[in-house]
Structure 1
């Protein structure tokens, strides 16, 4: 029709009716509006996709960095750290910081004096050790000197690697004695997201306070500025000798969608257009920009759809008279349905691909967490021994004092040829030595690492061993223990060292809770049904605050003001779950907390023949019921 119109002469065109001109003008205007709407719709959909991806990326960055936000402050309050700083035992400090770095999976942990000089560092064994270096110019050090918890991102002064830093002051009797700093290496985060961005066909960059590119999946974009401006002296210190040059991006409006600005970004030796989406990360002072290639509206389909709609509207009054128009509309409907099915299939395929990637990342994370958990189990066990060191010292000093007295008396008896009396003294000394050996053996068995393999274990014996570990502390506090257990031995399939650690951790927590209780006491019940063994350990302390119950098993959560890192109960719950059991806690009226351990019973036929159940030696200040 249009071709025939172009072949008409001027006089023939002038004789065309006005409705023809209006139809052609309306058709052209309709197609222009449809093209503009289609381009806006495509860009809007891309922006929705970018927003969702940016939120996921921002959540990942917040998690990977934010999970260390309180670690520096927690370490700064650690009693072992303060003690080592007071003793100026720098070799021990180096080893202690190395253990903390391994446990937290951070890049580095180091200790500075108030002037900013590094005293000890977790990387003390490497060639790029921080020990002896002056970081007093860093803002996170200056913040800690003022008594604040600092955070800062910068290029590493020694390593040359980008990192995020947390710091906290270390006090001794309200006097600043040191500063603890923790560094998170940002390059692994960037590399992981770089692989994901490459698979999905988008790019990202993270800019700092002066519009400088700090992180990006494109190496050529890093350490470039988005704006032509001079950096302040403070911003130059952030990057030290690393030069920052303009990125050279250009901004222009899209042809059919001027409301959307496109960025011309340098890629290799040319410039490519990208549709940007920005998201603020105010907690870090960053801005996340997600870039994806702009998609053009399907002009061919829009032309076909617009033409058919326009003709259908213009010829709609003939629809009842012409069956051909009906078949055409039915065909259009089928085509639209087919397109929706194809679009839905594509969405499902994309969702499936994302799920596969998420599962892969989760498996990697679970593997890393399993290794970290084993390290934390041993660390928590040693921390428990440390909390019992005072009572252990008391128990060892009594026999040692008696041995000294017996030795002096025996020496005088031998000088006076009192052989019979000296022999009696030697017998008493042997009993004291055996007592010392038993005490040390208990703590030696408890402190050794678990085998990592489950084996049949008699539950009563393990419970009695755990009570033996805390027996001395119970005697110091005057804690009475009521123990109820079945006559027949109960067998479970566990790692005995780890199970004993869980029991000792619960008992020591109860002892700590009953420090201010007038008549402290434990009530321990061991029972079973057809499938499970249950251990109920109840103290008569003040109990647990109701709003703390739901967080009591979280890592690094603790209600203690000074001692502990909040790992014991979290590790204990994971140990019970690895045995196929559970660990629960609830307040028991009228007062006190009750921990309940459930473990699957193990068939006695699969276990070695049990030795007769030995009742524990009577505890000083304790009674059995």
Structure 2
């Protein structure tokens, strides 16, 4: 059996192997870089916190270091040291108040033999008064050098603190005693502990003096011989501390792992020297989570970047392979397409011919529909004219009868040679003739079949033309007409004859609805609202019946016995052609139709 070699499979295997190697290198490399950056950042943050802690400690030491130096100049101390018979009561009270004000643990005065003559704790059972402290280094160092600083446990209180001592000299410069102030760092340690960062201070021998972890006090951070440990324990702790080693090795700024005395974690250690005291402050900041987050973020970013590059490379490689396949397929598709095009060309030619016939037929039907609508509008006009013909005839007969009467009168006046009276009769005849001409002109214009463009039409003129045609019928029926047109000369976009036809239809419907109504009234109101003009025709008739109201603008819907139900439909189509709308507005009584049109500028 012969195996077939597939080059594309081989290429994809090489591609996958290459990007796996790149991903491993990127994750490891970027993770290491991120770990180093995070370590440096953690050390910088710890260094900043250590500098702040050191600054607070220096401030505390400076504040208390000046206390013995100032007190050594107090003449009351010299008086008591040179004449113990004076009694310590004044100094006891002074030391007590001063210790309270400066927050010193104790202030006391020793004579040249190391015996305490006065103390701030003179009231307490553990008073220093009368105790001898000649064995304390801070006493003999102060007697020898003038001043001393010594950190140790109190022999009476058992509490750790820094003893600051200063020699007291008489006016001749001879030593007469030592003034001592003990400073405890409980408050400082508590503040450091609240920051959540373990901190400790070591002396020049590497022994922990001040610390936020009580178990570390008097432990050593560097190798000491057994003799040195015993000597330190005797001098500083009266032999109570064994000076065990710290649970982690000493060193400079670095990352250390601690599993004893603190929660197991990776800590950034930074060292801050206190040169004036020979001390060193060390701060530990938990950094494992910070470094882990930074490393994980960098590795994730590296993996995502490699995945993105691999994906893009894969897409490009896949595109190249597909491009080759598409080239082959495209040639076959081109030949097939040419064949299909030939077939579709014949089909499209036939379909185009059918579509052309359908378009011509649709245009013919649309023209027929438009012609039919125009014929329907014209028929509605003629039907309306038929309804008002009697009234118009009566409107014309009156001026004709008056013309005849005035013509006869003018002949008599001429026979009498009364030319002035004849002229008046002839003038009246001219006015009546003009009235008849206006009515006939309006009839002729109204009955003409028109379909002009939408133009600016004066609302007053359209209403006046309508009233010329229907005025006689209103008077015949005894209908009171009220016109409310507050803005004369207002124009709308419409076609005058067709607008008059709509108003006439609405007035005709109102007159028929008022039959049998006491005090029949029709109101024509015109209102302008912004760019729209509303022409409202209202009557005080019985209104539209509920069964007809919902289908009011549907063809052949009417509540008249002899009506066709086309007048409102035709009127609405005319108004819609103007770009407006015809609506029915129900009310508590009567009927109101509104014509809303665009205002012409």
TM-score by length of 2: 0.45
- Higher Cα Rg, which structure: 2
Task: Name the structure where helix makes up a greater proportion of residues.
Answer: 2
TM-score by length of 1: 0.44
